[in-house]
Amino acid sequence: MCQTSWSISLWAKGLTFAAVALCLSACGFQLRGQDLVNSGYTYAVTGKDSQFAAALEQRLEAMNVLAGSGESADITVELLRVRRQQVDGAVNAEAMLLEQAVRLEIDYRVLDASAVELVPVQQLSRQRYFRLDRSNLLGTATMKEEIADALEDELAAQLLRSLNLIQQNLTSANGN
């Protein structure tokens, strides 16, 4: 009896999963990905020379959509401002700093091959706090750099997702 009810519940769960998957596929749901690969568009990054620009170019190059030197790009990301800050956070009763934050702010706009603005100036920003370890200042400095690198990766991924949307809009506009 117990084995029968177990197999029925397993069968019911499988049926429920299949129904949800069918509903999601029927409504056009897609997992958000970075579909820049095989899009036919090439990308360039101009403006501020920074670690963020290098991280963004690395991601585009890994997808094989970065325009080569001397080659004109279909879509250009112009970095207008890249700002990395250290922000003080909480203090203890003796007014000693307990935590800090790393903040990264990026202002950018997106242009087409004719330098026509596809997306006006946008801002991306992220901030992450970390505890200070006064007994290990070198470790704290390393942690701060790791957090800053992670923030750059997150913002680069977010910018690539917005490029994906721009690309989809361009494709649908050119197709219609």
Q: Please give the average per-residue pLDDT across 47-56, as a whole number.
A: 85
pLDDT at residue number 120: 93
- Cα separations (Å) of 70 from 59, 66, 99, 109? 19, 12, 46, 21
Question: 6 and 23 in contact (C-beta within 8 Å)?
Answer: no
The CATH class for the domain spanning 33-175 reads: alpha beta
pLDDT band at 25 (very low <50, low <70, confident <90, very high): low
Which of 68 and 149 is assigned the larger pLDDT?
149
The domain spans of the chain are: 1-30, 33-175
Give the whole-angstrom CA distance, residue 57 versus residue 1.
61
* pTM strictly above 0.75: no
Give the whole-angstrom CA distance, residue 121 versus residue 98.
36
